[in-house]
Chains A and B, each alone.
Chain A
Amino acid sequence: MIVEGSYPLPGSPDVIWDLLMDPDVLAKVMPGTKALSRTAPDRYEGTMGVGIGPITAAEFELTITLTDLQRPASYTMQIDGKGRFGFTRGTANVELASEGVGTVMRYRADLQVGGKIAGLGQRLLDSVSRMLTRQGLDALNRELTARLT
């Protein structure tokens, strides 16, 4: 599954970068995040719950490892989520480019999904992941706006 897009954010890439590296902010902006902590400089672990069609409360133990950190321009996330309803794993690339007074964030995630969520929720995976991404980015936008004003 590919999730990709771009999103305009207020503030410079440096400001956004700091927010994106802050587990408390991440926990707030990643929909369904129940807990998230930094367990190593480039590693975050936590729990996330989402509903996909007939599976109403899929909970994942989530590990995110950051690689290729090019502050403030880009980084890559290795995503590894496992739970009783299946798994998701893959990579996501994030690019921050300053544009005018703000920043454009470009993202592209290539995710494998397996288990019950793949077998039962397939039809809805694309729309759910788009919706979650949009929710996350909107939340990030709100957080930025709050900090910048």
Chain B
Amino acid sequence: MTAGPYFGMRIPRLEDAQLLTGRARFVDDVDLPGLLHVAFLRSDEAHGRLRGIDAGAARARPGVVAVYTALDLGDYWRPGPLLVPPPPIPGLVFHTATQVPLVRDKVRHAGEPLAMVVAESRYLAEDALEDIAVDLEPLPAVTELEAALEPGAPLVHEQFGTNLAAHVHQVKGDYASARSKAHALIARRFHYDRGAAAALENRGVVAQWDVRAEELTIWDTTQAPIPIRNGMAELLGLRESQVRVIAPFIGGGFGPKIMMFYPEEVLVPWAAIRLGRPVKWIEDRRENFYATTQERSQIHDAELAVARDGTIIGVKDRFLHDTGAYDPYGLTVPINTQCTLLGPYVVPHYDSEFTAVFTNKPIVTPVRGAGRQHGVFVMERLLDLAARELEIDRVEIRRRNYIQPDQFPYDHQILFQDFRPLIYDSGDYPAALDKAVELIGYERFVGVEQPRLRREGKHVGVGVVSYIEGTGVGPYEGARVTVEPSGTVRLATGVGTQGQGHFTTFAQVVADVLGVEVGQVRVSTGDTREFNWGTGTFASRGAVVAGSACHAAAVKVREKVLGLAAPLLGVAPNDLVLAGGRVHRRGSPDQGITLGELARKANPLRGAVTPGTEPGLEATAYFGPDRGNAASGVHAMVVEVDPETAAVAIKRYVVVHDCGTVINPMVVEAQVQGGVAHGIGNAFYEQLIFDANGQLQNASFMDYLLPTALDVPTVEMAHVVSPSPLNPLGAKGVGEAGAIPTGAAFAQAVEDALAGTGIEITEMPLSPGRLFELLQAAQGGVG
């Protein structure tokens, strides 16, 4: 094992041996004696009134143990919690409508569960679904955002008398008066459509009720095991200590696996208690297209006011946000859009207003990027258009508008999704831009390569865009560090882990503080028995918030080590050094004691633990940042477009990223690479297509296209480091960065490659088919 210090080093991931040899446990690996299996009957209709369900035949089928409809749930039937209440923005309107465990009176999107079958096997459970007779009166559906707000539109939730789910207006400065001073006004309509998170592993829940211990264990593919534990205890009338939620290894979270209290998540444990047998449900891929939350339809009408030299005077944006059939996650996604639009730029006047809209489509909650990509797309496209109109270079117009390194903290004067003011903590945007421009060879490409290739008949283009990612939001996370007599250091934290490398990065943080080998630190995440205070993995906050808590707990243990060792070794604490798993006198490495031995002494069987001290070498600590921090970066890509087929090949992809202090560059780079793959999917492949009746048209990977390894280039990366002053590590988040500006970079590069055709890209995602249509329209319909 490499020797420390480990912070900042490319430590191979400690969890990989387990993952690569198939020894990691995922939810579907949980197999218990007497396990029952669940299948859900889901609505084919997107909107309909439920008149009745006859499950008699299904109940009579051999092997079926139980069939539940909404009526069978009794008092347990209740709408799910509002997970994120709206922030305190003056004048804000918000209509709460959260998902229900099983449809009782009205279906509001295709795939909503109507009944739950529990059987001896999944096969039997699925067969029994066909025995259930459902009397459902179809209702006209609303799927289009503008149509949904028209008078007389079918209502998703009648009680509101409207499909308006929320309305928010945030203002900085006075755009209306400022715009009169503009040299140019760039106004466009932008569309961004839905995609799926498409995690490798679908969702799953296994629950077991131990009748003797009166304890419920839930294995759940959740990103937030502790809120699920607390919520399930409350729902089931149990003490929190009676419920243990384990979020084991998870094959990708990306947002939809947050503490949703999905129907399946609340019903499986309930059935396990009721039936006295363990119960399992694993989502299949087709279910995932309907039952797992999605993102991200929005329509923006945006206007940019610029001065002659390209300086931004202000931006006005009015947008519609599709929240789907319910809005349990509040306004996180559209507020992220609203805030992220401002990007790394000085925008003196900003007038942004959005309306969230209920539609008969699956629920929208954050998916990697969580609304940020829309804001980036709108702003970057407006800047591209302004640059063209003002005949300023694309890179130059961005440089001219950056917040400068000496302007931090920089206050944008609006509220962020964490209810805190949108204040950027640190950054160096010009440095990132310079690096990206140099890495992609922008000047040479535009000046030499592109003209040469164009003469050869090749349509190549470059795109360079900037973005901010608000990351590392509160409220808090915690960690407990324990030194065992063996010398092993146990580290437990509450966040769930879905492949981010937590087992390695958290260990690196703790290993350095205690002077042990990184492999000596055994990390436990996502098990409420190990640690039961915290919120979860979201908003690119694991390393920042949980990482800082790990650090704080390790520092407390280090203090205990010093306090115990000082009298033993006969020196003052500050004359001690922790290294190599030992604490020793400074300058005399042989005069010391191993941490394991010290741990044993700290837990004596005779004698006394002095009042006011604690036994053992263990400490728990918490960390909550004052507010989120601002990670940032620049993406640049080179594409080649075949104008005959509208196929696009990404030739090069450069990311210069600033996530503050880097704990493990390899982990950061892998996050960025994965994010870019996600972003490329969102830009050119992935689109959930619904018809006017709310029917998803491409509910399988035959028709919903994911980018393959052949479509995703190896990202060339460089780092800029602007440490965050908001946490002791100086870290910022990186989990979503790769996916956020990809669409904007792609649009700019493709437009550049097709310069002269008159094509203008104002929508995402594209596809070869859609790009072909745009190209034909731009060329006057001549194919």
Binding site for B on A (CB under 8 A): 54, 84, 86-87, 89, 112-116, 118-120, 122-123
Contact = CB atoms under 8 A, between A and B. Distances in A.
Contact of A120 (B44, B691, B700): B700
B696 A119 contact: yes
Contacts of A115: 44, 110, 695
A54 B702 contact: yes
24 contacts: A54-B700, A54-B702, A84-B129, A87-B44, A89-B138, A112-B693, A112-B695, A114-B46, A114-B110, A115-B44, A118-B691, A118-B696, A119-B286, A119-B289, A119-B695, A119-B696, A119-B697, A120-B700, A120-B703, A122-B697, A122-B703, A123-B698, A123-B702, A123-B703
Nearest to B697: A122
B702 A120 contact: yes
Interface of B: 44-46, 110, 129-130, 138, 286, 289-290, 691, 693, 695-700, 702-703
A84 B44 CA distance: 9
B700 A119 contact: yes
Contacts of A113: 695
A34 B697 CA distance: 28
Most buried by A among B290, B696, B697: B697
A37 B13 CA distance: 67
A112 B110 CA distance: 14
A81 to B, nearest CB: 12
B694 to A, nearest CB: 8
A119 B699 contact: yes
A119 B289 CA distance: 9
Given A54-B702, A86-B44, A87-B44, A118 B130 contact: no
A118 B691 CA distance: 9
A26 B702 CA distance: 35
Nearest to A89: B138
Contacts of B110: 114-115
A133 to B, nearest CB: 20
A6 to B, nearest CB: 26
- A-B pairs with the 10 shortest C-beta distances? A119-B699, A115-B44, A118-B695, A122-B697, A114-B44, A84-B130, A114-B695, A86-B44, A112-B693, A119-B696
Contacts of B130: 84
Contacts of B697: 118-119, 122
Nearest to B700: A120
Contacts of A86: 44
A113 B703 CA distance: 17
A120 B695 contact: no
Contacts of B699: 118-120
Contacts of A119: 286, 289-290, 695-700
A120 B286 contact: yes
A95 to B, nearest CB: 26
B98 to A, nearest CB: 25
A83 to B, nearest CB: 9
Given A84-B130, A114-B44, A114-B45, A122 B693 contact: no
Nearest to B134: A82
B47 to A, nearest CB: 11
Nearest to B690: A118
Contacts of A118: 691, 695-697, 699
A89 B691 CA distance: 14
A84 to B, nearest CB: 5
Contacts of A114: 44-46, 110, 693, 695
Given A114-B44, A116-B44, A123-B703, 18 more contacts: A54-B700, A86-B44, A87-B44, A89-B138, A112-B693, A112-B695, A114-B693, A115-B44, A118-B697, A119-B695, A119-B698, A119-B699, A120-B286, A120-B699, A120-B703, A122-B703, A123-B698, A123-B702
Nearest to B42: A115
Contacts of B138: 89
B423 to A, nearest CB: 45
A129 to B, nearest CB: 15
A114 B134 CA distance: 15
A33 B702 CA distance: 29
B590 to A, nearest CB: 71
Contacts of A54: 700, 702
A115 B694 CA distance: 10
Q: Which of B44, B45, B703 has the most CB of A within 10 A?
A: B44
Nearest to B703: A123
A122 B698 contact: yes
A132 B590 CA distance: 88
A130 B360 CA distance: 29
Nearest to A118: B695
B76 to A, nearest CB: 28
